Structure 1
Amino acid sequence: MRFAVLGPVRAWRGDTELELGPPKQRGLLALLLIQSGHPVAVQEIVDALWGQNPPDSAVNVVQRHIGALRRLFEPGLPARGTSRWLVRRSGGYHLDVDPDSLDLLQFRAMRQEAGRLAESGKSAEATELLIQALALRRGPAAMGIPPEVRAHPGFTAVDREHLFAVKEAADYALDAGPGLSARVLVTLRQAAAQHSLDEVLQAKLVVLLAATGHQAEALEAYRTVRTRLADELGLDPGPELRAAQQQVLRQTVAVGPAPSAAEGAGFAGAGEQAGEPDDAAVRSQQDITITALTARPAQLPVDFAAFAGRSCELTSLHALLPPTGETPSAVLISAIGGMAGVGKTTLAVHWAHQVADRFPDGQLYINLRGFHPTGPMVSPAEAIRSFLDAFGVAAHRIPTCLDAQAALYRTLLADRRVLVVLDNAQDSEHVRPLLPASPGCLVIVTSRNQLHGLVAGEGAHSVTLDLLSEADALEFLSRRLGADRVARESRAAGEIVALCGRLPLALAIVSARAAVNPAFSLSSIAAELREGQGSLDAFAGEAPLADMRSVFSWSYSALTPEAARLFRLLGMHPGPDSSITAVASLAGRQPNQVRPLLTELVRAHLVSETEPGRFGCHELLRAYGAELGQAQGTAGELNEARCRMLDHYLHSAQAADRALAPTRERIELRPPAAHVTVERFADHRSAVEWWDKERPVLLAAVDQEARHGSGEHGWQLAATLESYLDRSGRWQEQLAAQTAATTMAQRLGDVRGQAHAHRALGFVSGRLERWDDARVHLWRSLELFGEIGDPAGQARAHRYLAFLANRRKRHEKALDHYLHAQTLYRSTGLRCGEASVSNEVGWTYILMGKYDNALDECGRALAIHQEIGDCNGEAAAWDSLGYAHHHLHDHEKALTCYAHALERYREIRDRYLEADTLVHIGDTHHAGGHHSRAALAWRQALEILLEIGHPDATHVRGKLESLDAPR
């Protein structure tokens, strides 16, 4: 057995990861793991699982969970047999875990050994060991267990251990050399962002930043924490912070010995990145901050017409706003909290629609998925990226780090009146980076947790939703079933309200049942609820969830057998929604066969149609469906369904990638399983639309495979996602997906998968300017591709190394890598790769100012692309040729080349690159003094950019305005 608790709670028997059961069972296991080696008293378990109000059956439920865990760990264990792992001892339960079997114990042992090494003067070894220990952590301890369980002080203590280790690593790193210091700095920055008021931690960040050459950033970090201490706590910096600032000002800090020649070869360490950004970067940031974007997002979900109750809460919320016509003097924040299913999102969306007209610059909405039982939480970086997308910020103009993205987001909202709805937040820290800084905006946050941090730190107005009052619950039924029907059977309606626990989600499901069966009396529905109440033994005593799950069970039992089977299978889908073809593949049916089944599920409110042809499911309903699937389906049936679903996404993703770039080399896949529907794409546009819609699902599928699957589909899906994520600038998502892919491929012992994952991980690390990581991963991928005899894989790795070398203005080194890539492609006969390398070599010559050399290489690329019929490559080569001729002042030839590129881009319907080439054409006409022709080309480009909502429209409009200005 192996266990993990530094992040999501996980367990493996051999190489098989175990499904740990319902939330409280996972919480119980987490509690035993953090106290490994010590018995945990039954009363302590009960207090942790239920708090102050445990049910009478609490001890019996704990015993059932213990029995289920024992059977999970040891499938052949007799009913009264003695467990090897989980034993009863001293009035409690003891989990007997070897030090090498639990990540927490490994972390503690490595931290202790690092301390011993540091005391012996071996700072480099201590730092390296502590970096490895910190890398074991995948998030807060026992992430994902019920909040009431995670409130146990033991989990907070484990998180503090990680924080102490980060501080120790910062101390050791000062004597460990620049390479190790740069690696520690990454973790230190992350910890400092999460613990913004920890003065000791912030002081260590200031010192290490200065020691590694980032003096300006160190002083800015000091100013930021000083301001935050004053604004939030009314305090001045303490002695540690003041001392750190003085060290920076006096320049008395520096890292220890320099790295060896071997450490510095190939790519520069963090020290080489010191200093101020170049002029181009500064200008780019200035362009973004002064751009007057015209996008007005309107992302609010549809308001529910039959909204009922909550009059007191709405009155309280409306009182937040100043009189109509007045602008709020500060950012208004409303934190709506309450249990799952109580109607937080419904209230937030309803109120948002009521006040939306007071925020004319737009409405932003995102589901942060803070309590999703199976899928990944939406990180602040992902949320900010989606908001920047909504405002039309181009991918290449979005900064790579979270702090810079947050600053750009706040800048865009400055002097604007925007309504922001942040749904399903995990905690206060989850939403802090998403808060505007300027007055005039309203932020509505919903969460199952009480957001005390927002109330104390940001002055948020807290609204905690309770169950509906009896009167509001009856109004709820009346709005959905008709006032006359409820009045005729008022006693039965009252009983339904009571049996549903006055919980809105439960009432909605019952209402759906009654609405689609108008002949049913409310008395008969109440009787069915009475008979079904408490029949789910697994949830006995866990009020109020017991009542809701009884409603789920009853609603499920009313389904036809085929719809019930589909509902169970949908529990395996990673979410947030799915297409009909994906559902069909999951079910092993044709799309026309599953549509009526989905209609049945929608009518029963077990599934919702989020948009025409796409279907989603409330997270609790999905979890319930998964539990039913585990209970009623065989392992073989569930595994076949999961494989069909993953085959659908994997083969459809590859088909979309092939539609975008037909000649690109890609991984070979096994044929899809029987009864899998694969999407087909008629053109470039349909493929891009599919990618944009399915991206959240594909990323969730990769994450789900990493945590629960074998991993084969997961790494292949990540490899297929690589080009799309890179082209769209979603580098943080790329980093997460390829990190998971590396882990999965290593777990499988799949060398090919490891090679692809390391290559992609190296390239995105370079995109994010993590040069050391980029070097390590890309060179590792070269070794692995060499082991399996894949020269094409090695060639692309060399191209990636060349691209990153060009990013750092190491053009000669780039040409050396391209030479290796060209040789490898020629050995395989891959003409498309050979041609792409020639075009990239030509572009390198353009960067070097060697335009004649560029013409030779790009001309060679063009000839090959034309020979093999690669329109994408041909268009790119023509554009490069035009760019080179333009810089040689041969405007006529430049225009001829651009005309060919324009023709090809129109053939493949790439609207953005068509506009980009039109801008180049206009630039060349303008350089030749033909201003009217330049204006014509720029206007055509502007029309396209406005049509697709691209922010480059502002830049092109500026070109046109410059023509009209007096010269």
Structure 2
Amino acid sequence: MLGAVYRVLGPLEVLFNGKPIVVPAGKGRVLLATLLLRPNQFVSVDELVERLWDGSPPSIDRAAKTLQMTVTRLRQALGPANCVSTTTNGYLAKVENLDLLHFRSLADSDPHAALEWWRGPLLKNVASDALHREEVPQLVEERLVVLERRIEQDLDAGRAIELVPELRALTSEHPLRERFWAQLMIALYRSDQQAAALAAFRQVSDLLANELGIDPGVLLRDLHQSILRAEPTLSTLRRDVVVPRQLPSDLTRFTGRTDDLVRLDTLLPTGTAGQAVVISAITGSAGVGKTALAVHWAHRVRDRFPDGQLVVNLRGYDRAEPLTPHDALGQLLRALGRSKNEIPDETEERIGVYRSLLADRRVLVLLDNARTAEQVRPLLPAGSRSVAVITSRSDLRGLVALNDAKVLKLGVLPLSEAVQLLENVIGVHRTQAEPEATAELARLCACLPLALRIAASLLAGEPHLQVRELVDQLDSGDRLAELEIGDDREAAVRSAFDLSYKTLAPEEQRMFRVLGLVPRADFTPMSAGALLGVPSARALKLLRALARAHLVEEHAPQRFSQHDLLRLHARERALTEESDEQRRSSVVRFLDHHLHTVDRAYDVIRPVRNVLPLTERDPVVEAVPFEDRDDALAWCRREYDLLVELCEFALNERYLEHAWQIVSGMWGYLHLHGSTEDILRLDNIALEAARQLRNRYAEAIALHSLGVARKNMHEYEEALRVLHEALRIRQEIDHERGIAVSQAELASTYLWQGCHDEALRYYRASIEQWRRVGNDRGMSMSMNSLAWTLVCKGDFSEAVEVAKEALALQEQLALQSPSTRDTLAQAYAGLGDLDKAPQTYRDIFASGALAHAGVREKAEILSQGAEILNHVGERQAALSYAREALELAERGGQGLAEKARRVLQEIEAS
């Protein structure tokens, strides 16, 4: 035969033009065998590593390098027969002439021809315990199923006598396989060996009882009765007991869900007497792949259920009315061989007949697309042998409570598996050509299997359409409209979501749709309650109702989220069903919740602050209470990304008062933990909002904050320009407190620039302004800054006096004063007093006052204290403080790193 031929149904062999090719022993054979057992399918690097090292791989780097080397050597050895292709994070074998593929193509139509492809023990020349433990048994099972078919054909063809020796060997080799025993009993009976047939039944009965603690299945029992009655015609194919085989086709490109399949495997009955029927409920949102998983798993285990597999679509989320238990029971009874006249009219009687029929059978019952537990409960099989698998968009908690159901909740796919699914459908050559676009396509599909398959089908149907082109279409257009196949109503993401939405109660529907009005799908009961205009307790109940319907996910206690496609659907519904006024009121309440909460946090974090003229809030809008400063900081840290997005959203959607006020409210947190980049970004949002409002007060606040940020970036000229503009506006509107603050910040900027006289002038002006306002706290802070400026200028004696005056004022106000003590220590050091200077730093560090300092303040004090302590010989303490200072400076991105690094290097060198 010309070309490449690959064989795995026996020893591993590769031929090219009829001549054998030597496959490298060891890892090379394991690699090729693993890939050929999954022909034309992606196999991840992680799985290959597990196979090559039998589950005990070395380090990640070493395993990856060895795998690459093994692939290279295998490709070289295969030469013109090379079939190994690289994919994203894995490999696949691209083959056509493979015995396994030929076997599978003939398995149903011609089992005799299919079995001729088998050449002996599978992969006997491949040394891999994992491969022979996990892969080979599945192939052996495939062969046994086809062998059963071939024997049935031979029995029907009248070859009973010649089949007896083969079947005795098969029952000896596979003693727990009931179908071989049934076929042996038939063959013996038809060979006029009735007693031997009955003896075979007794033998298998004893085996099953001893090994598994179970009785023979219904097929063997009924066959036994037929032999006792000496029925003239007896066949395993034409039985009074109908064995339903209703499973729909499996997905050939089923992807991922490995852990979920393992969890389902654990539910298989063990045969223990008295065991209750096993019930598994697979739940999740529309399009997440519940049915696909259930069907795929059912195909994997169907031979564990020799008495059949039943499937009913309950239409719980469908355009038609849900199937009633009465009608579903009618379908099930007909599938079990009952004629119309044998099916009772009353539902309770149908339940009794159904359960009686299944009582002693091993049947897999797949109840797809269930709406409620009440719809499912009458359809559950009785006995200890069967398994019921239910799929639903509801959480079916009633089945958990009353029927001991085990729930398997499906989420969207991990990104890697989503990319793999696309690759499996459209081909590795297209995904490899555009890996970034493929990953982006998966993200735009929210890694939702239905959306991924629709997107992949659009690409598969248009071979010349690039992945990037589809990404651009989805990104810029109506994504939900794009993710549908026009002539197939089932293949549409929007339609799937609509069916879930329509099952909700009216208030639940409204909660769902208002969640789409804001930029980020991350909600608490308070924020969702603000959107809907209900108290948080009511909002929590509604959110949990949506979670039970899998339209939101409670990803943390009382925190709810949606994937992007559900959020888009919610927004569509809001735009359609909510008036402009209703939508705006919802958003205002949502923004008010965050504004008033962040303002409350600012009060707790930094009591000395500019008081904002906050928007009035609806009484139903709740603000988060804070127990203490740490609690407020934790909330700010948790909500930080959302707050930043809300500022941009408020500006873009013209909620301008909220835009500048949320930024201003965040300043307490930003002062401690904000990066310069974020501060600039937010301050420019506030400035733009203020100018659009023509609000001079707000404009000055934004300009002042911008000036501080520019100063911290050492852009002194720009900082001075902006700060002078802020001071001018505050003077024009007579904002007395603001004037003092801007004067102090101008002084600080001049000081950083080295202009000591200008700095002293503005600090003294600030002190006088605070005095006129009657604000002792502000005056003490500006006095500290004045003292520091005197230190920098070299006027140490005056600096000591001013710092002491500031400290006395702060002590009267019961203020923590690490910065002022730092100034005093530096003044003492300038005077050469090496007793008071280090002692002052020891007092600062021992007092714990730095715990509440900002990043910049803390880093500066630690760094300067380290210098002084090192100077007096306390090197270990100095090293510790200098290292902490450098870590803070680098993390804060505040431009302190250079100085902190210099101090640390000097101490280390000493």
| Range into which the TM-score falls when normalised by the shorter chain | 0.3 to 0.5
Normalising by structure 1, report the TM-score: 0.44
Determine which structure has greater relative contact order: mean sequence separation of CA pairs < 8 Å that are 6+ residues apart, divided by chain length: 1
Q: In terms of Rg, which structure is larger?
A: 2
